[in-house]
Amino acid sequence: MDKIFIHEVGPRDGLQVEKETVPTEIKIEWISGLMKSGMDIIQIGSFVNPKRMPQMADTDELFKYFSTPENKPGNVTLAGLVLNEKGLERGLACGVEMFCMGVSASNTHSQKNTGMTTDEATVRIIEMAKSVIESGKSVQVSVQSAFGCGFEGKIPEEKVLGIVEKYIENGIRNISLADTAGHANPFQVKNLYKKIFDIDETINAAAHFHNTYGMGLANSFAAFESGVKYFESSFAGLGGCPFTAVASGNVCTEDLVNMLNLFGLRKDINVDAICEVSKKASAFFKRDLPGFIYRTGKIPE
């Protein structure tokens, strides 16, 4: 079976909704621990206006720190989220290896998140993605609110597939479907990914599920069965989009990797190392976090 890739989004998506700002030195400690676990991609932060999102104010500093050989294992890719051209310029200047950007299939969510309509954002993101490819860096584009929206409800599949088709037409091969509102169910996941692979079976498909209504891990399994190879998750199950109607955490990384381990996959990733970071985060925020395995431990083999 082809390799499954784990894309850790906790330092960005996991922390962006937290009201208590995590100091840079603690972020460095957590990210270093995640790197030691052996996961593939870590999304360190987003290049947004620090006044709008103070939690991400140190993103440039973090990338500069981890871009040095002594602070970064060679097997991990440093990813960062960008929303506009200014963010892209900042990312190119401080060592981002993989740029993540996306378009919401919900006009309401798009306006709240970016101030643009879906159509406006699609044109802009495609041009940005093409410039990243020309620069020699990696890029992943997403369709946010792909399975539903807390403001608009059900999102027509045709709208999601239309955005995907535009990505493919412009030579963009790494495409993620994001369940921003957590509305997805396993049957819907299988159906939508089948239709995407019918458009082009050679794309690198990714999945980004939120656990708002408790179906995140089930949806991840459905995506796995559908042929998805890239999974975005957050240590301890932290996170949620602050521009949705109901913000809730991501699929928990250690829970997801533990499930894959039970399938005989990705046993090279050290689940205990991720759990240590989750325990530290739980102590920092002074509350239990949504993940399970960091509290229960793995099922004994």
Question: Catalytic site residues?
Answer: 241
Closest CA to 293 of 260, 244, 245, 246: 260
- What residues have CB less than 8 Å from 244, skipping those under 6 apart? 109, 149, 150, 151, 180, 181
3-state secondary structure at position 210: strand
Bridge partners of 82, per DSSP, are: 47
Bridge-based pairing of strands 204-209 and 41-47 is unpaired
**CB environment 108-134: b (16+ within 10 A), e (fewer):** bbbbbbbebebeebbebbbebbeebbe
What's the Rg (C-alpha) of the chain? Answer: 18
| Contact yes or no for 80/43 (Cβ under 8 A) | yes
Backbone φ, ψ for residue 299 (5° rounding): -65, 125
Q: What separation in angstroms does the CA of 213 have from each of 160, 210, 251, 296?
A: 21, 8, 11, 21
Bridge-based pairing of strands 138-144 and 98-104 is parallel
- What residues have CB less than 8 Å from 145, skipping those under 6 apart? 104, 105, 106, 109, 152, 155, 178, 180, 181
**DSSP per residue, 130-199:** HHHHHHT-EEEEEEETTT-BTTTBSPPHHHHHHHHHHHHHTT--EEEEEETTS---HHHHHHHHHHHHHH
